[in-house]
Amino acid sequence: MKKTMLFLCILFLGNILLSKNIYQLDLAQDTSIISASLFMYGYSYIRYNRQGELSIDNIENLSIYDINFLDRHAVKNFSPVANKISDYLLYACLLAPFTMNFNNNISAENKEINFIVGEVYLLTGAVVSLSKTTFQKIRPYAYNEIVDMNIRQAQDAQYSFISGHTALAFAGAILTANIYNDLYPNKDNFWIYATSISTASTVGYLRYKAGKHFPSDVLTGAAVGTGIAFLMTNLHKNNEGHTGAILRVGFQF
């Protein structure tokens, strides 16, 4: 997760430098969002440094019967391969919105789009960090006896809720679909939503198969990423002549 957060910071700082139509920035609004995000990161960092590894007694006292019925089956999962693939798909979702920069027809939008994407990632990552360090929910693999004890005891084993990979993947996927839909409102854009959501959902499923998260962690992460993406695109919408992110199949989000 530390590598992912570093990757997000690099993306955000870099995109502020990239060069008002559909979207517009607001100094007071954006300053508040960034400040709140940085505060959550700072508070999470303090909590993180106060937390240590799980003891052997902590591990031995874990019981699957303390887990709700819908989540319980996740403790059987553990796959380093699924974990690695989920990393690659996450990076694809994070980079997807920036492909708009290669379209010369919308170069005037690049500054706003890049800033909004970076801001969404910053806020999503902050919410994820705050959630993980606050709830300290034990990951599924910590219950799995076939997993090496050092892995089960690691501090990271306490950060199951919520799924950061899933939250960020959905944030990137929904942003890509929303921005494309706003830029090309006269097209049937169902396919872009279907492709984006399918890719992000695959990330969530792989996190479950890797033993990193329970289904409830994944579903909550998906909801958080999706909600922040829709909220931020609509907060930054230039309302003159625009009605919001609409999926052109007869309904509005």
User: Model confidence over 89-104: pLDDT tens digits?
Assistant: 999 999 999 988 887 6
pLDDT for 249 equals 33
Whole-angstrom Cα Rg for the chain:
19
Q: Among 125, 113, 110, which Cα is nearest to 232's?
A: 113
pLDDT of 243 higher than 80: no
pLDDT higher than 60, residue 253:
no
Domain presence at residue 193: yes
Q: How many structural domains does the chain have?
A: 1
Question: At 8, is the pLDDT very low, low, confident or very high (cuts 50, 70, 90)?
Answer: low
The per-residue pLDDT for range 136-188, each reduced to its tens digit, is 999 999 999 999 999 999 999 999 999 999 999 999 999 999 999 988 887 78
Domain presence at residue 171 = yes
pLDDT above 50 (res 124): yes
Domain that holds residue 159: 2-17+28-56+74-239
Report if residue 248 sits inside a domain. Answer: no
pLDDT above 80: residue 193? yes
Flag whether 245 is in a domain.
Answer: no
Q: What is the mean pLDDT of residues 28-44?
A: 97
Higher per-residue pLDDT: 1 or 78: 78
pLDDT: which is higher, 52 or 188: 52
Rounded to the nearest integer, the mean pLDDT of the chain is: 88
* pLDDT of the residue at 111: 87
| Mean pLDDT calculated for residue range 230-253 | 61
Residue 244 zone, left/alpha/beta (φ > 0; ψ -120 to 50; rest): left
Task: Measure the CA–CA gap between 77 and 146, rounded to whole angstroms.
Answer: 10
pLDDT at 19: 36
User: Which residues on neighbouring strands pair with residue 251, listed in sequence order?
Assistant: 247
In whole angstroms, what is the distance from residue 214 CA to residue 59 CA? 17
229-233 average pLDDT score = 97
Q: Where are the alpha helices (DSSP H) in 66-214?
A: 69-72, 80-95, 110-135, 149-153, 164-183, 190-209
- Which residues 6+ apart lie within 8 Å of 198 measured at CB? none
Q: Return the HEC string of 77-95.
A: CCCHHHHHHHHHHHHHHHH
- Whether 163 maps to a domain, the answer reads yes
Considering the domain boundaries, does residue 65 fall inside one? no
176 lies in some domain:
yes
Whether 51 has a pLDDT exceeding 80, the answer reads yes
Flag whether 155 is in a domain: yes
pLDDT given for residue 95 in this prediction: 97
CA-CA distances (angstroms) from residue 28 to 25, 34, 106? 9, 10, 26
Kindly state the average pLDDT of the residues 228-250.
Answer: 68
pLDDT-based confidence at residue 79 (cuts at 50, 70, 90):
very high
Percent above pLDDT 70 for the chain = 84
Report the pLDDT averaged over residues 37-65: 96
Among 53-67, 93-107, 129-143, name the one with the lowest average pLDDT.
93-107
Residues forming a β-bridge with 247: 251
d(CA 225, CA 223): 6
